């Protein structure tokens, strides 16, 4: 092996290890306190039966090409029609993943000369899209409406004349807190701006029928939403919903849509069934919210943690090494909780990301909190 060829990569990995930031793959094991399968749909019989029935009637596994070639199947079109109706949007487009969809939106819709303002804690895919796109972009302090407005005012004062885009998550993936949606909509209206809302961690759980935290505003000309299908919906892919004109523009100009093989038609079947389940089985959302409230009380009483009020509960430790040691100790005790370190979260805020799903019950939550108290005392 020519070690010189790989030297710089090896040095980078050793540097990450020195900072306690080296990532490795580990298998799933123990009680689920780390996945995004919030409603427990991924292994549900109804979802599996829908896919099995599709296979039995001849639905292919592979799409065989891009949507603009032979990859556009009846299953894709049926899903998009149902999704547009479900979310209250004019159109929907199905992408292969939430990461690709975010990247695609922000590299395609904001134009040269536009301004894109991104919440500093928005998902990495939004940051990548902003950096790779044609619009000028600025970061705004997390959930700070005044900071967004100040950026717009300065840009206009400096001669900016084109469109403004604001991109946020409705429920943030590492802090579990919500964006101030009503104030963001008012701000966007005031400045004739577009608002891109990543509903990844809200879809299926929050809003009427699980339609998300921006549900009241979908269907407007200045709203584009992204609904990830690989979290509460238990499948994979992502649905972009918005005005028909913008969806047509994506079909014609969005390279990650035009040049990618379409998602599997079987996955479109699974997502379509998951959307139906949101309407048919509202008890899943009720049960999850009860577990969220229960876990919040337990963590507040036993650990002094402020509840996030959502299914994502951060437990900030700070130090990278201690964070990973606590996570490893909990995993050894049978609780699958993962440590999250920079650059995923800001420096000095390494944390446990405790995810609440219907894959655990209140007894499991109590046992997890008890183990956490014991591990913290000894680590």
Catalytic site positions: 36, 123, 169, 173, 198, 201, 231
Phi, psi (deg, nearest 5) at residue 352: -90, 135
d(CA 310, CA 308): 5
Task: With beta carbons less than 8 A apart as the criterion, state whether 183 and 145 touch.
Answer: yes
Nearest Cα to Cα of residue 50 among 265, 306, 316: 265
Contact residues for 146 (Cβ-Cβ < 8 A; gap 6+): none
- In sign, the C-alpha dihedral spanning 179, 181, 184, 188 is positive
d(CA 60, CA 72): 12
Phi, psi (deg, nearest 5) at residue 265: -55, -30
DSSP 326-347: HHHHHHHTTEE-EEE-TTTS-T
d(CA 226, CA 123): 12
Task: With beta carbons less than 8 A apart as the criterion, state whether 273 and 50 touch.
Answer: yes
Gyration radius (Cα) of the chain, Å: 22
| Residue located via tokens 């780390």 | 34
- Mapped onto helix, strand or coil, the DSSP state of residue 73 is coil
| Peptide bond before residue 39 is cis, with ω within 30 degrees of 0 | no
- Mapped onto helix, strand or coil, the DSSP state of residue 157 is helix
Phi, psi (deg, nearest 5) at residue 138: -135, 150
Structure tokens at 60: 């292919």
């Amino acid at each position: 092996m020519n070690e010189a060829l790989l030297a710089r990569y090896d040095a980078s990995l050793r540097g990450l290890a020195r900072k306690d930031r080296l990532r490795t793959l580990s298998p799933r094991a123990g009680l689920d306190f780390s996945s995004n399968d919030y409603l427990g749909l991924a292994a549900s019989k109804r979802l599996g039966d829908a896919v099995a029935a599709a296979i039995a009637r001849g639905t292919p596994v592979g799409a065989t090409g891009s949507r603009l070639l032979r990859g556009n199947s009846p299953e894709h079109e049926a899903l998009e029609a149902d999704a547009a109706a479900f979310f209250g949007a004019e159109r929907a487009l199905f992408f292969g993943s939430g990461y690709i969809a975010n990247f695609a939106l922000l590299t395609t819709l904001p134009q040269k000369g536009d301004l894109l303002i991104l919440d500093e804690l928005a998902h990495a895919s939004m940051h990548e899209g902003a950096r790779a796109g044609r619009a000028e972009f600025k970061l705004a302090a997390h959930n700070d409406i005044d900071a967004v407005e100040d950026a717009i005012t300065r840009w206009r004062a400096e001669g900016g004349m084109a469109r403004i885009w604001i991109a946020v998550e409705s429920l943030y993936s590492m802090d579990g807190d919500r964006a101030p949606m009503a104030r963001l909509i008012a701000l966007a209206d005031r400045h004739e701006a577009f608002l891109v809302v990543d509903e990844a961690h809200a879809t299926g759980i929050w809003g009427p029928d699980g339609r998300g935290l921006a549900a009241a505003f979908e269907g407007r000309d200045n709203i584009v939403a992204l609904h990830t299908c690989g979290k509460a919906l238990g499948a994979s892919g992502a649905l972009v919903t918005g005005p028909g004109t913008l969806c047509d523009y994506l079909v014609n100009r969005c390279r990650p849509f035009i040049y990618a093989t379409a998602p599997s038609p079987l996955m479109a079947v699974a997502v379509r069934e998951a959307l139906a389940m949101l309407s048919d089985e509202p008890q899943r959302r009720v049960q999850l919210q009860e577990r969220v409230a229960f876990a919040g009380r337990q963590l507040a009483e036993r650990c002094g943690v402020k509840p996030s009020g959502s299914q994502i509960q951060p437990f900030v430790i700070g130090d990278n090494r201690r964070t990973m040691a606590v996570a490893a100790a909990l995993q050894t005790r049978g609780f699958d909780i993962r440590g999250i370190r920079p650059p995923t979260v800001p420096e000095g805020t390494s944390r446990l990301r405790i995810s609440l799903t219907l894959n655990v019950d209140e007894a499991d939550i109590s046992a997890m909190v008890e183990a956490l108290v014991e591990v913290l005392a000894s680590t």
